Structure 1
Amino acid sequence: MDYQTYEPNIDLKSLISCYWTLEVPKQPEPQKQRIVPDGCIEMAFILGDDIKRYTSENEFILQPRAMVLGQTMEPFYIEPTGFVKTFAIRFYPYGIANFISEPISNLANKETPINKLFEKETEDNLTQKIIQAENTKQRIGIIERFLIERINNKKTIDKIVKSTVDSLLSTNGSASINSILKENLSKRRQLERNFKKQIGVSPKQLGKVIRLQTALKMLLDPKSKKLTKIAYESEYFDQAHFVKDFKEFTGINPKDFINHDNLALSALFYK
């Protein structure tokens, strides 16, 4: 698997975490891959063969070839049908709300074709340019021009939402909402409502995903520490709490995660 990441333009750096590409040769026997929540929202363009997204053990849909994958709160399975070639934009949790008018909560736990989010003519033009581009550098230039033109200056992310996300990111998801709000505890209900609208999930859910990311990166470190040490450094109450959250978001025990074949792709994204 060839996975690469690229830095965004300085004008988009506060909204976009990175651009990434993934290429995987066609496999004789394609294998399901379990995708683990990462707290971000992504816009992806499938440039290779179709990719299946399983809706149950045996039933699947084909992922849209140009889509936005909203916040996910549970793992899901995908399976390539052949050669994998993907170009994607990974937004910070509050990032994509600057570019679309659709409530972010409507995007959660599913793929939304981008023709549902932008005018058809605009989407067709963008998708064709991305497909016809000669390389990743050209694709980044195309998507950045598109996004910079669409930044909605009239619609700003609620300051309390952004400060909450920033606090969760800076504390690896361990900060409590009360400690973030401090003297503004009366605004908790407003925060919950605006957070759901602009991020797609609750502050508590996002915090749990961000904290899990921290633990996953430690777990995948070649110098991996004992689970009790990882749980402590990720600020879980105890190892049992860590294991419970881990299984909730990955569907598997931490000890089984590292060498599990159908988690190879998720492990690649976290390294």
Structure 2
Amino acid sequence: MPINYLKKIQLGEFNEEAYTISPSIEIESVIEGFYVFSRETNKDTHLVFNDGFPVLVFLQSCEDTIAVTEENNAFEIKAAWASAGSIKNVYVKYNNNTDQIFIVRFYPSAFYQLFGLDAQYFRNSPIIPFEYIAKDSNFSIEEFFGYNLIEEKIAFVETYVQNSFMKTGIPKTLQNTLDYIHKIKGNSTVQNVSNNAGVNYKWLERSFVKNIGLLPKEYIQLQRFIHAYLELVGSEKVDLMRIAISNGYYDSNHFLKDFKAYTGKTPLEYLKFQL
């Protein structure tokens, strides 16, 4: 999702222009949350990032579009998009007067099960038009946009999930491992995570790839980066070494390498871009 909205979710920065609605008890194992954001009108272009939770992002109208720019590609998406996996150097630009963004944030294994997708589906294309998935999973985008109120749209999504999802879950050890990685904000190594879980690396790798669609190392990197990013953009004085070390990077060069990979810019270039 656009990282400016993910930032609000991570920090709990909610108000009347950025708010969350919890899913009903029946589907809380599938959907992490519903989010509504008023578009930031001072800037049309935003970095896209995924912290491990797949999302569906709906524009205000089925006729609204965004332009997606990747490192070596550019394309347009209409109405809604899905994103998951490790997203690097991808930006979206709003082409219409969309005033409001509606985001559905899923637990990864449940998301892939719900839409009948292999967990590696987003490996090479981490952001795609949602219509590619919807047409094969009986989700009517046209019917969704027939509702005007957020409450009606949420009810539509919840009904779809209740009618379509066959609960299977993920291994308890894997869930405990994910919880541990989130708790320590990715500030660890794969070996330490494996030791904490009491499993060997091969089991951990197979479980992550099958259920999450990412390698353990990739998932840890996402958590470590988003927290380093939040510290960077929230700092009055930029101290790259301090930010790097406090978030588990070996040094500032390691952080710079990750930052350039995810954003396509150096930290200082990105901060200027945000102004």
Common fold: TM-score over 0.5: yes
The equivalences for 1:97-108 within 5 A come to 97-108=112-123
Equivalence for 1:267: none
SS in 2 for 1:63: strand
The answer as to whether partners of 2:177 and 2:193 remain within 8 angstroms in 1 is yes
Equivalence for 1:268: none
The answer as to whether partners of 2:58 and 2:79 remain within 8 angstroms in 1 is yes
SS in 1 for 2:249: coil
- Distance in 2 between residues matched to 1:26 and 1:36, nearest whole Å: 20
How many residue pairs get aligned? The number is 256
The equivalences for 1:1-271 within 5 A come to 4-11=18-25, 12-24=27-39, 32-48=45-61, 49-55=64-70, 60-84=74-98, 85-108=100-123, 109-118=125-134, 122-124=138-140, 127-153=141-167, 155-182=168-195, 187-221=200-234, 223=236, 226-261=239-274
**Worse-matched range after superposition: 38-47 or 208-217:** 38-47
- Distance in 2 between residues matched to 1:180 and 1:103, nearest whole Å: 25
Show structure 1 runs of 5+ residues with no match: 265-271
1:128-163 Cα offsets, whole Å, 9 max, x none, are 34212222222222212222333322x221333322
Letter in 2 for 1:122: N
RMSD: 3.1
Show structure 2 runs of 5+ residues with no match: 5-15
Letter in 2 for 1:254: P
The answer as to whether partners of 1:3 and 1:21 remain within 8 angstroms in 2 is yes
- Distance in 1 between residues matched to 2:145 and 2:19, nearest whole Å: 19
1:229-262 Cα offsets, whole Å, 9 max, x none, are 222221222222222222221222223333314x
The answer as to whether partners of 2:71 and 2:89 remain within 8 angstroms in 1 is no
The answer as to whether partners of 1:37 and 1:75 remain within 8 angstroms in 2 is no
- Distance in 2 between residues matched to 1:34 and 1:98, nearest whole Å: 27
Report how far residue 190 of structure 1 moved: 2.6
- Distance in 1 between residues matched to 2:79 and 2:250, nearest whole Å: 42
SS in 2 for 1:79: strand
1:199-223 Cα offsets, whole Å, 9 max, x none, are 1111101111111111111122255
Aligned in 2, Cα 1:95/1:224: closer, same or farther, shift over 3 Å?
Answer: farther
Report how far residue 47 of structure 1 moved: 2.9
SS in 2 for 1:161: helix
Report how far residue 64 of structure 1 moved: 4.5
Aligned in 2, Cα 1:14/1:166: closer, same or farther, shift over 3 Å?
Answer: farther
- Distance in 1 between residues matched to 2:40 and 2:253, nearest whole Å: 39
The answer as to whether partners of 1:70 and 1:104 remain within 8 angstroms in 2 is no
Report how far residue 74 of structure 1 moved: 0.8
- TM-score relative to the length of structure 1: 0.79
1:98-121 Cα offsets, whole Å, 9 max, x none, are 422211211233334445445658
The answer as to whether partners of 1:44 and 1:67 remain within 8 angstroms in 2 is yes
